[in-house]
Amino acid sequence: MQAKEQFSCGIVIVAAGRGERAGSLRDGPKQYRPIGGRPVITHTLDVFATWPREKRIVVVIHPDDETLFDDARSQVSGDTSSITFTHGGPTRQLSVFAGLKALEKSGISHVMIHDAVRPFIDHALLDRCFLALAEGSDAVLPAIAVADTLKRGSPDGKVVETVSRTGLFGAQTPQCFRFLPILDAHANAAASGRSDFTDDASIAEWAGLPVTLVEGLADNVKLTIKRDIAMADEKLSRNRLPDVRTGNGYDVHQLVEGDGVTLCGIFIPHDQKLLGHSDADVALHALTDALLATCGAGDIGDHFPPSDPQWKGAASRIFLEHAARIVRDNGGTIMNADISLIAEAPKVGPHRLAMRENLAAMLGISLDRCSVKATTNEKIGFVGRREGIAAIATATVVYAGDGK
Ligand code: MG
């Protein structure tokens, strides 16, 4: 038992491959293809970054992929400060060796080596591997007992024999090792001209290290061909929460003597008018703020400063349509808009349908998604004294993506 030794874990994520089997090169390397709205490798890094143990992560990438990698790393939800990268070599084996060498000076006692294109690992699997290392294993291999009946075939497509599957396992990653022995094994393999090992447990076996099996994870599949990536995307999309966002807005304008007010773009003759730099349509101003709020785009004053003379007397439709365009440019679909007007007068009821039709036209959505309501303020406060009109608005927008 070596459980008492200082345990510090390095993680090597192998991501230097070109992934030719996963489709045309035009689509880019498979570890950077999107599944569930984010690159494959981002999902993989998420699991390690959120694993609550001290670790240093080195990602081995192709020299051409630095931009792709930076973008993928920026989308990781966990702490990314422990994630660095190094360049890989021409084979998987040499890429792992480069990753191990990048960790050589960090003083780690153990290392986990994982394929970037296995994004469905979980913390329970990492814990099983960790436990086996902590109990003193030199090398740990997560694996799944082979379930299919195995056949040996001949070159002309005939079954030669049925191979007993007893004692046969499919190897997965992360494959985990005491650091110095696997670094030595890799150095010796490279020095002796071997560069064709397809996993690290094989190198450990070649170097005479005992390899301990731990239970793998059925979901921990390697995304190899284009169809694997499509299936992974479908699986994540099924579980994805819709990115529904709600924004609210509030506005007040002062009433003074005049000939009418404009609400939701409808002019209503009245013995007062609303004061404001633009047409003072409180309803559309509140809704403009509600829409901007769904994508963190500030408020109406940021986009249309009252100090700017070009908005003097402007129709507020311009403001609302601008906000709707920002929402759409951010990938949003407006689901509904709801405005409550708070005014003693004029009466809104007779104009409500025309107001809703205006909203539907300005937002490009159906009439049943647009609502206008009105209430008095029971003669209380500034609204009750007819000193002003207030409006409260709510907008719901569904955005593309998975809400991260
Ligand atoms: Mg206003």
Domains and CATH numbers, the chain: 3-239 (3.90.550.10), 242-402 (3.30.1330.50)
The alpha carbon of 369 and the centre of ligand 1 are apart by a number of angstroms equal to 23
> What does pTM read for this prediction?
0.63
Query: From the CB of residue 304, how many other CB atoms can be counted at a distance below 10 Å?
Result: 20
**Helices of type H across 91-244:** 92-103, 123-134, 179-191, 200-206, 226-239
C-alpha 329 to ligand 1 mean position (Å): 24
- With a CB cutoff of 8 Å and minimum separation 6, the contacts of 341 are 263, 282, 283, 348, 372, 373, 374, 375, 389, 390, 391
In the reported structure, the alpha carbon of residue 366 is separated from the centroid of ligand 1 by a whole-number distance in angstroms of 25
User: Of the candidates 212, 229, 144, which has an alpha carbon nearest to the alpha carbon of residue 177?
Assistant: 212
pLDDT at 105: 93
pLDDT at residue 292, rounded to an integer: 98
pLDDT recorded at residue 23: 58
* Burial (CB count within 10 angstroms: exposed 0-12, middle 13-18, buried 19+), residue 380: exposed
Residues in a beta bridge with 326: none
Residue type, 132: A
Cα of 252 from ligand 1 centre, angstroms: 6
Helices and strands counted in the chain (H then E): 12, 19
The Å distance, Cα 114 to ligand 1 centre, comes to: 56
- What string of pLDDT tens digits covers the 404 residues of the chain? 444 457 899 999 999 988 665 555 567 889 999 998 899 999 999 999 999 888 899 999 999 999 999 999 999 987 888 899 999 999 999 999 999 999 999 999 999 999 999 999 999 999 999 999 999 999 999 999 999 999 999 999 999 999 999 999 999 999 999 999 999 999 999 999 988 898 999 999 999 999 999 999 999 999 988 899 999 998 888 777 788 999 999 999 999 999 999 999 999 999 999 999 899 999 999 999 999 999 999 999 999 988 888 888 899 999 999 999 999 999 999 999 999 999 999 999 999 999 999 999 999 999 999 999 999 999 999 999 999 999 999 999 999 865 55
Spatial separation of the C-alpha atoms in residues 265 and 281, rounded to whole Å: 7
Cα of 265 vs centre of ligand 1, distance in Å, is: 13
The rounded Å distance from CA 277 to ligand 1 centre is 8
Q: How many residues does the chain have?
A: 404
